[in-house]
Amino acid sequence: MTVAIILGRRIDLPTSVFLHGLALAFYGLYLTFYPTSTPSRANDRSAMMGIAVTCLGLGYLGTAYMPQEQNAFLYASVPVRVGVAILSGLKLLLYGNTLGTAGKRDFLAVLIYDGIGGLILGWNLGTWSGIAPAYR
């Protein structure tokens, strides 16, 4: 499904993935440049997390112009997102009692957001294998 034509080029991503990529890129920039506290190691980690999150968002956006059936990054993100959700769920299950309220909320958000997002994307693409049709 084509989302839009930007700068005369067709964006060939599902709408949800295009919005997900934009949200990741902007949230990552926010974490990178807007400190959450006074200078500290926690603030440095937040900035580094912001850079990683920005890279994930730009990964989706950077591959938006290639034909969807050739977009290996898009297809590979399906099992990766489901795996990240499972990892987050395991952390909650095994160590949830050692997490604070905010930590539990964050891991639960990843479990739900990436779990549902990965399953919906796999359903939209017609495969959960992570292999793009052009490379089968």
Q: What is the pTM of this model?
A: 0.85
What's the pLDDT tens digit per position in 97-124? 999 999 999 999 999 999 999 999 999 9
**pLDDT at 2 > cutoff 90:** no
Question: What pLDDT band is residue 6 in, cutting at 50, 70 and 90?
Answer: low
**pLDDT at 4 > cutoff 80:** no
**What per-residue confidence (pLDDT) applies to 3?**
55
Q: What are the domain boundaries of the chain?
A: 1-65, 72-136
Closest-CA residue to 75 (of 63, 85, 88, 87):
63
List the beta bridge partners of residue 4.
11
Give the least confident one: 1-10, 27-36, 70-79, 108-117: 1-10
d(CA 43, CA 127): 39
Other beta carbons less than 10 A from residue 27's beta carbon:
16
d(CA 76, CA 34): 31
Contact 92, 78 (CB under 8 A): no
What's the pLDDT tens digit per position in 54-103? 999 999 999 999 999 999 999 999 999 999 999 999 999 999 999 999 99
**What per-residue confidence (pLDDT) applies to 80?**
97
| Residue whose pair of structure tokens reads 């997490």 in the numeric block | 99
